[in-house]
A and B are shown apart, each in its own frame.
Chain A
Amino acid sequence: MQEVTTEKKEFVPNIVAFCCNWCSYAGADLAGSSRLTYPANVKIIRVPCSCRVNPMFVLKAFQQGADGVILCGCHPGDCHYVTGNYYTRRRMALLYSFLNYMGIEKDRTRVEWVSAAEGAKFSAVMNDFVKTVTELGENKRLTDLRVKEGE
């Protein structure tokens, strides 16, 4: 008789990180070259500026199965395009507050400012975000069930 194993698969969240080209992406690079680690389930998408991120990108990421979305840009005042991240800050503050109003867990979304010199911060932020989302569990409220068919 075959033995039935009921071992539960450990939940590994899918994390999408939008990183601006000039600061945060370079920060990720520095984290790498400094041999600092961050979880492999963080998928980085490079954008020219954090303000390039349309709310649609965030929602699309959730639709396609992300469990958490983090947006990283230059520190306010340090934007390569001078003011881009100021707009990001307003947009994302409103969007995330709104998503929470619709019942989406606040901790699934985050904005962090990471400069090109902050490899250690990048690593710490990602580790912390992954931990938070892992505790929250699977994203069930803002996902398209069709995507996960057959899984």
Chain B
Amino acid sequence: MLKIAKERLNELYAKINESMGLFIPVKKAGEVNYAVWGEGKEVSLETLKTVKSPKNAFFPQTETMMKFKTEGKNIEVVDVRKDYVEEGKLFVLFGVKACDYKAIEVLDKVFLAEPVDTYYKARKDAMTVVTLACSRPEESCFCGVFGIDATAPEGDVTTWLDEAYLYWQANTEKGEKLTALVKDLFEEGGEKEVAAQKEATKAILAKLPYAALNLNRFKPENLNDLFDDPAWESLSEACLGCGTCTFVCPTCQCFDIRDFKTHEGIMRYRCWDSCMYSDFTLMAHGNSRTTQMQRFRQRFMHKLVYYPSQNNGLYSCVGCGRCVNKCPQRLNIVKVIKTLGGKAND
């Protein structure tokens, strides 16, 4: 294991940035979100939850897919896809928490399954993930429920942060490569401190109020029962139909494709969409889900039942708790699990 003094982190960022892009939690106008690092930016690794999840780095909220140029009756289709690896445009996603890292696995199953989403894959291929273990989980955290160990996230490199040092351990080939690049800044050591931090964090995790959520009822065989449960009505009653939960969620993957007219022709882009919106999956005949209750149910059934039934039981919630903190009316997946999850959650 390697370590670097906290005061020298800026040197580390600068060193990485010499040859690669760097996405890292940055504080801007009071809020911490993942952003491109640059000299003078206020990095905040201590922030437990960035407002938006890091998925922005490899699945941007909006992304151009292609362009059309018209001249007379000719339409030229411009492919804007890039091979970032070939172009040498590699980047590091730094400070990813265990839950958010697990979320990448959830997204991979959607975007890297056949037919592969080439836009997503291009960015993923160019990305090296440096994860950061949690040391101060909060009451809205429940990653443990999904079998995630917040103290030892996976990733190309795993890091731990305490008052004095950042500890660094490479796990994969990509991670080793990155380590070789910055090795001069590090010194050996840290096993003892990391072990101690892990233990202390585990003690907090065990006592979290949501640690004992029970997911047993959320199984494919209960799909119909859950779908027809009358509790959805009261659960969704206060829902505003905004997209906050979906846009802060690290696993939400739905997008819409739209065209935009420029002076040069047409730009076709995709942007995140939210199943909470009234125009979600709008078709010529209208909308498939006409009430907010149906939309609300769709979101949670997808996370807890539909997705796992297609992916060997892997839930598409990772317990990051962003929706718990950010829902304007304080509705969230935990309240759904507790209400519909059966007696074990009482």
Q: Do A and B touch each other in the complex, judged by CB within 8 A?
A: yes
Complex: A65 Cα to B267 Cα, angstroms: 16
How near does chain A come to B140, taking the closest CB pair, in angstroms? 34
- Name B's interface SS: loop
Number of A-B contacts (CB under 8 A): 17
A90 within 8 A of B: no
Complex: A149 Cα to B267 Cα, angstroms: 10
A103 within 8 A of B: no
| Interface residues on chain A, number (Cβ under 8 Å) | 7
Of residues 265 through 298 on chain B, the ones whose CB sits less than 8 Å from some CB of chain A are 267
What size tier do the contact residues of chain B reach? Answer: under 10
B262 within 8 A of A: yes
How near does chain A come to B37, taking the closest CB pair, in angstroms? 22
Interface centre among A65, A149, A151 (most CB of B within 10 A): A149
Of residues 54 through 109 on chain B, the ones whose CB sits less than 8 Å from some CB of chain A are none
- Name A's interface SS: loop
How near does chain B come to A74, taking the closest CB pair, in angstroms? 33
Of residues 150 through 194 on chain B, the ones whose CB sits less than 8 Å from some CB of chain A are none
Complex: A146 Cα to B260 Cα, angstroms: 8
Complex: A65 Cα to B260 Cα, angstroms: 14
Of residues 100 through 151 on chain A, the ones whose CB sits less than 8 Å from some CB of chain B are 146-151
How near does chain A come to B258, taking the closest CB pair, in angstroms? 12
Contact with B along A66-86 (1 / 0, CB 8 A): 000000000000000000000
Complex: A107 Cα to B264 Cα, angstroms: 29
Complex: A151 Cα to B263 Cα, angstroms: 8
Q: Across the interface, which residues of B come within 8 angstroms of A151, CB to CB?
A: 263-264
How near does chain A come to B257, taking the closest CB pair, in angstroms? 15
CB nearest to A147 among chain B residues: B262
How near does chain A come to B25, taking the closest CB pair, in angstroms? 26
Q: Across the interface, which residues of B come within 8 angstroms of A65, CB to CB?
A: 263
Complex: A126 Cα to B267 Cα, angstroms: 34
Complex: A150 Cα to B267 Cα, angstroms: 12
Contact with A along B235-264 (1 / 0, CB 8 A): 000000000000000000000000010111
Interface pairs (16), CB distance under 8 Å: A65-B263, A146-B260, A146-B262, A147-B262, A147-B263, A148-B262, A148-B263, A149-B262, A149-B263, A149-B264, A149-B267, A150-B262, A150-B263, A150-B264, A151-B263, A151-B264
